[in-house]
Amino acid sequence: MSTLLTLEEPAADGAARPNWRAFTEMGFRPLYLAGCSWALASVLLWVFAPARLAGVLTAMPWHAHEMLWGFVATIAVGFLLTAGANWTGRNPLRGAPLAALCAVWLVARGAYLAPGMTAFTLAAAADLLFFLWAAAALARAVWITRNRRNYGVPLLLLALAAAHALYLRAALAGDYVALMRYFNTGLLAMAVLTLLIARRVLPFFAKRAVQGLEIPPHTRSGHWQLGAGVMAIACLLAGAPRAAALLLAVTGVLALAQWLAWKPWAARRVPLLWILYVGYLGLGIGLLAGAAQLAGYVARPAWPAHVIGVAGFSVLIIGMATRTAMGHLGRPLRADRSMVLSYALVILAALLRLAALMPTGAAAGLLHASACAWALGFGLYLWRFFPWMIRPRADAAAKPAAPLMKIVPAGPRRAP
């Protein structure tokens, strides 16, 4: 009897079937998916089901911790483990060790939601192990290859780990002042790391995306910016908010000067590029808002935290998680409609979240609308990229004889 119909799992865009070795080939694959999934789920929990937050960390400290360390820093680790392979020619973490790192991350996310000190201790230790392990893997690759330009990057991951531990200690002690100090320390450490990354990749991406575009890398201003940011963190920890405010203002002004020098109007027709410009602008404005808050001109600390975190980090993340993933997945660097829509939704979520901070009767409705736009934006990203992340590179799929574990750089070796 002849076969009339054969049922077979459809392959995305004609690509190969899902492959575990491909999925754990580089850090961005599992960690971009994990971070964006948690961004979606944790915000929905925080806004629509706060009663589910039964852990030792109460609602607000849990939300702040999970947004910074559970989402933003996780994406940063995924990026750095991937970029480290290009910077050094050595993949810092892949295969079973990378899968184990992701398992540690999952344990932390789940344990924070469980009641009792045992679960809290397990979550805190798992998170600490996650950042220390990632920092050690990146440091090993950088040190073995004598990649001096990136010696400081693992130290910023260690600073994030230290801020995480101090934040949790303050939360246990019920010390709100210390809690905010260490949250701001982690926020600034993440901001310095983001500025360092964005200052490298944004001009590089811009010159590749816009033919004939010439923009300065701002290397010298970047060194001043890095120094001012690190000193601002030190002043904050030392209990000198006025000095920290001045240094933070310098960092933010330099970011805005760089943004202007990079000719943002040239990126208006390239979605993969303008989304990064929007995020960098949000980060620069957020740093100035943080300086104003430390100087006593802004009463509510929620303002700078949300400008930096939502209008800055999150907008940059949706852009970077798209652009870098497509480059390393061997796909054409063109944003489709779903990607552009996800950008618009995340920007809308940021604007609505900032509007919800206004003391008006519409605050609750704006917060709910922001959470919905946020969930849709990151949901679209996951819908589009999940099938690609779990399969070999698109160009590798066209060549079955090619080894699955071969690392194919997205550009020149020193590019991210």
Which tokens hold the place of 362?
């519409």
> What is the value of pTM for the model shown?
0.90
Is pLDDT above 60 for 6? no
Per-domain residue ranges of the chain: 19-174
Name every residue whose Cβ is closer than 8 Å to that of residue 162 and which is 6 or more positions away in sequence. none
Asked if residue 412 has pLDDT above 60, the reply is: no
Task: Read off the DSSP letter of residue 9.
Answer: P
Spell out the alpha helix ranges (H) of 295-336.
302-306, 315-328
| Predicted pLDDT of residue 408 | 40
Neighbouring residues of 183: CB distance < 8 A, sequence distance ≥ 6: 64, 65, 68, 163, 167, 305
Q: Average pLDDT of 384-399?
A: 83
> Nearest-CA neighbor of 187 among 307, 84, 278?
307
pLDDT digits (tens, 9 = 90+) for 203-262: 999 999 999 999 988 888 999 999 999 999 999 989 899 999 999 999 999 999 999 999
Q: In whole angstroms, how far apart are CA 86 and each of 25, 151, 156, 281?
A: 14, 15, 19, 27
Q: Residues 296-343: pLDDT tens digits?
A: 887 788 899 999 999 999 999 999 999 999 999 999 999 999 999 999
Question: Residue 159 corresponds to which tokens in the numbers above?
Answer: 């600073």
What mean pLDDT, rounded, does the chain reach? 90
Judge whether 381 and 340 are in contact, CB under 8 Å: no
Query: Which tens digits make up the pLDDT trace of 10-52?
Result: 344 545 789 999 999 999 999 999 999 999 999 999 999 998 8
407: confidence class by pLDDT, cuts 50, 70, 90 = very low
Give the pLDDT score at 415. 42
pLDDT at 15 (0 to 100) = 56
Question: pLDDT tens, 264-302?
Answer: 999 999 999 999 999 999 999 999 999 999 998 877 888
**Is 50 exceeded by the pLDDT of residue 85?**
yes
Amino acid at 75: I
